[in-house]
């Protein structure tokens, strides 16, 4: 399994921490799924005095790797400042870098993303960039210092699944040594299984679990799917073919019975 900046994850499921009915249910979701990473937003809740600290303390108590994010940032400057605060609050160099370029689709501003990734990488951050399946942008992000890529499946919170399987497959083939995470757009566990079957290293999601009627059960369902997909990928799946291929041989059988 590929490592994330030298860290081996025990579980390929990464969960967001927003929108749950309560922090207690959030904790249940982590417990039942065994998710290895919790991503947490600092942008909205953070005033000048770090007023979200009671909630952040609950996140730390989950006992998983914390991946702070810059959700809600629209410029390089905002993202960099938020990342610096995140490092201070959580004592980690990890940052999920998100720079939004368009309000309706929450499409990343890939130009600002590359620039912010460069600044943060030079400052010692270990950047997890939220990007698209654009190979050129991906290349630029790696050149800017990123060692992980997080392409979207479809727009954040849409639950549309994988909009461009071809693009994701190309990305996997193009960057065989880079840890790849599909971040955003997943609505169902089967979609997460598909991500892992494509040979990706992890999935990151929030809404599909947090907004489910029973978030803890849905988290577990995603965890099972991720494990199934991961196992399938290592088992070298068969190639699809155009014609039927009977699983029992017909030659030698009495076919006129």
Partner 1 sequence: MENVSIIGSGVAGLCVARALLDRGVKLRLFERGEGIGSHACSWWAGGMLAPYCESESAEEPVFRLGKESAEWWDKHTGEVHRNGTLVVSLERDHADLRRFKRRTENSIDVGPDEIARLEPDLGDRFTKGLYFENEAHLSPRAALASLREKLILDGVDFIHEEVDPRVIAVDGLTVDCRGFAAKDALPDLRGVKGEMVILSSPDIELSRPVRLLHPRIPLYVVPRGDGVFMLGATMLESSTRSRISARSLLELLSAAYALNPAFGEAEILEIGVDSRPTFPDNLPRIQRDGNLIHVNGLYRHGFLLAPAMARMVAELIFDNSTPEMMHEHFN
List residues with catalytic annotation: 96
Name the residue nearer to partner 1 (CB basis): 151 or 187. 187
Residues 135-164 that bind partner 1 (CB under 8 A): 157
Answer yes or no: are the C-beta atoms of 121 and 108 closer than 8 Å.
no
How many angstroms separate the CA atoms of 56 and 70, rounded? Answer: 15
User: Which tokens hold the place of 221?
Assistant: 């369902």
Assess contact for 26 and 20: CB atoms under 8 A.
yes
Provide the greatest CA pair distance for the chain. Answer: 84
Question: Which two three-digit tokens encode residue 148?
Answer: 């992980």
Among 2-10, 51-59, 186-194, 222-230, the segment contacting partner 1 (CB under 8 A): 51-59
Count of residues that bind partner 1 according to CB under 8 A: 19
**Distance from the first to the final alpha carbon of the chain:** 52
68 touching partner 1, by CB under 8 A: no
In the complex with partner 1, the residue whose CB is nearer, 96 or 118, is 96
Interface map 5-44 toward partner 1 (x if CB under 8 A): ----------------xxxxx-x----------------x
> Could you tell me the smallest distance in angstroms from the CB atom of residue 76 to partner 1?
19
Nearer to partner 1, 53 or 234 (CB): 53
Closest to 64 measured CA to CA, from 82, 38, 86: 38
Shorter beta-carbon distance to partner 1: residue 45 or 197: 45
Contact 133, 171 (CB under 8 A): yes
The residues pairing with 151 across neighbouring beta strands, listed in sequence order, are 131
Q: What angle do CA 144, 130, 139 make, to 5 degrees?
A: 35
Between 57 and 173, CB nearer to partner 1: 57
Alpha carbons 57 and 97: distance in angstroms, whole number: 22
CB of 238 to partner 1, least distance (A): 37
CB of 36 to partner 1, least distance (A): 22
Contact letters for partner 1, residues 201-220 (x by CB under 8 A): ------------x-------
Task: Report which of 129, 51, 48, 60 is spatially closest to residue 90, judged by C-alpha positions.
Answer: 60
Task: Give me the least distance between CB of 51 and partner 1, in Å please.
Answer: 4
Does 45 engage in binding with partner 1 (CB under 8 A)? Answer: yes
How many residues are listed for the chain in this entry? 257
Burial bucket for residue 142 (CB in 10 Å: 0-12, 13-18, 19+): middle
- Is 55 among the residues that bind partner 1 (CB under 8 A)? yes
Spell out the residues 6+ positions from residue 195 whose beta carbon is closer than 8 angstroms to its own.
153, 162, 168, 182, 186, 203, 226, 229
Least distance (Å) between residue 26 CB and partner 1 = 9
Q: Find the shortest distance in angstroms from Cβ 29 to partner 1.
A: 13
The answer to whether 47 contacts partner 1 (rule: CB under 8 A) is: yes
Binding region for partner 1 (CB under 8 A): 21-25, 27, 44-47, 49, 51-55, 58, 157, 213
């Amino acid at each position: 399994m590929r490592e994330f900046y030298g860290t081996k994850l025990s579980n390929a499921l990464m969960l967001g921490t927003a929108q749950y009915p309560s922090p207690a249910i959030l904790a249940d979701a982590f417990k039942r799924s065994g998710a290895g990473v919790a991503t947490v937003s600092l942008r909205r809740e953070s005033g000048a005095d770090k007023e979200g600290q009671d909630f952040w303390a609950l996140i730390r108590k989950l006992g998983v790797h914390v991946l702070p994010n810059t959700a809600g940032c629209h410029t390089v400057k905002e993202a960099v400042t938020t990342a610096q605060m995140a490092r201070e609050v959580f004592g980690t160099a990890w940052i999920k870098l998100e720079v939004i370029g368009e309000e309706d689709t929450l499409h990343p501003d890939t130009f600002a993303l590359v620039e912010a990734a460069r600044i943060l990488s030079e400052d010692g951050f270990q950047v997890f960039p939220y990007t698209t399946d654009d190979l050129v942008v991906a290349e630029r992000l790696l050149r800017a210092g990123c060692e992980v890529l997080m392409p979207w499946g479809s727009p954040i919170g849409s639950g549309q699944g994988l909009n461009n399987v071809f693009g994701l497959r190309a990305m996997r083939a193009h960057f065989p040594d880079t840890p790849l995470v599909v971040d955003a757009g997943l609505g169902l566990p089967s979609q997460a299984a598909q991500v892992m079957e494509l040979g990706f290293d992890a999935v990151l999601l929030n809404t599909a679990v947090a907004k489910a009627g029973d978030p803890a059960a849905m988290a577990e369902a995603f965890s099972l799917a991720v494990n199934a997909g991961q196992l399938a990928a290592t088992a070298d799946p068969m190639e699809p073919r155009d014609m039927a291929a009977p699983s029992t041989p017909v030659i030698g059988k009495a076919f006129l019975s």
